[in-house]
Amino acid sequence: MPDRSTDESQARARDGATAPQTPGSPDGPTVSGTRASVTLRVRRQEGQNPRVEWDSFGILRRPGMTVLDALWAVRRDPATTDGRSKPPPAFECGCSSGACGACTMVINNRVRLACRTLVDDVSPKGGPITLAPLAKFPLVRDLVVDRAHAERALCEVRGWVELGDEPPKPAPEAPARQRQLEALGRCIGCAACMEVCPQYGEHSDFLGPAALAQVTRLNETAVGQWQKTDRLALVMAPGGIADCGKAQNCVEVCPVGVPVVDGLQRLAGATTREMLLGWLLGR
């Protein structure tokens, strides 16, 4: 896990209400070392403080329990397996249903949504579940990172529809094309694809797969074509589509099945056509 060195930390942790502990309830007493328990091993770090600790919390597992449920159970009783009372790990969550991307984290060395990851899937034999924050974004605290850079990338490619005085009339899309565009539009901005992209990070200006795939969606939508040329010029600059290394990790980890690679390939084709057109027209 690389050290974090940035001053961009903004408090984004959402401290949810602490539910009262019900003695004897599944979320009540912490346990460990039994088949009915699961241990969460959580990476702890405060912002820029270089000190890193790992705390293990034991909780009772329930059928259908997600990693997010398990984190809430720890929050109710944040005692470690060696009996120390610790502040509960900070984590983010919004919708708890895979629609907001806030709970994206590294679970057993793979980037996933905590709300969509079943404890039984990542700990089928009762082994510990390791939780760490996304490593490519500035750490705020524990499992909370600042993903403002990912959001800025979408702004940098003009990821919106801006209507002028004479906006183009939306033409009906063919069903197959509609399905392609809808699939690209599923993006929830979780940043998982950026976490696993070798080209994305502090070492480069690469805008990242999510923002670039959205350029394809906007440029191929009738109303989005209004700014197509501007967007293509932006993604043909350094940090744009030419910086994609085609590792294709992005599509592997996307939790909502966005066809990211398809979007990037179509964008590469569009920029090539734009470049040829520029040469032919002497632009």
Q: Cα 120 from chain centroid?
A: 22
Q: Cβ atoms within 10 A of the Cβ of 81, count?
A: 19
**Least distance in angstroms from the C-beta of 128 to ligand SF4:** 26
Quick check: 157 binds ligand SF4 (CB under 6 A)? no
Side-chain-side CA neighbours of 4 within 13 Å: the count stands at: 25
State the DSSP code for 35.
T
When the beta carbons of 51 and 246 are compared against ligand SF4, the nearer one is: 246
- Given a contact cutoff of 8 angstroms between Cβ atoms, the answer to whether 172 and 114 are in contact is no
- Given a contact cutoff of 8 angstroms between Cβ atoms, the answer to whether 64 and 118 are in contact is yes
When the beta carbons of 139 and 193 are compared against ligand SF4, the nearer one is: 193
When the beta carbons of 90 and 210 are compared against ligand SF4, the nearer one is: 210
| Neighbouring residues of 256: CB distance < 8 A, sequence distance ≥ 6 | 98, 186, 187, 188, 190
Concatenated DSSP letters for 135-163? SSS-EEETTEE--HHHHHHHHHTT-S---
**Least distance in angstroms from the C-beta of 137 to ligand SF4:** 12
Give residues 205-224 in contact with ligand SF4 (rule: CB under 6 A). Answer: 210, 213
**Least distance in angstroms from the C-beta of 222 to ligand SF4:** 22
Site string for ligand SF4, 73-112 (x = CB under 6 A): ----------------------------x-----------
Quick check: 260 binds ligand SF4 (CB under 6 A)? yes
HEC secondary structure over 200-229: CCCCCCCCCHHHHHHHHHHHCCCHHHHHHH
Quick check: 191 binds ligand SF4 (CB under 6 A)? yes
Quick check: 190 binds ligand SF4 (CB under 6 A)? yes
When the beta carbons of 175 and 257 are compared against ligand SF4, the nearer one is: 257
Quick check: 196 binds ligand SF4 (CB under 6 A)? no
Q: Rg of the Cα trace of the chain?
A: 22
Quick check: 192 binds ligand SF4 (CB under 6 A)? yes
Binding interface with ligand SF4 (CB under 6 A): 101, 187-193, 210, 213, 254, 256, 258, 260
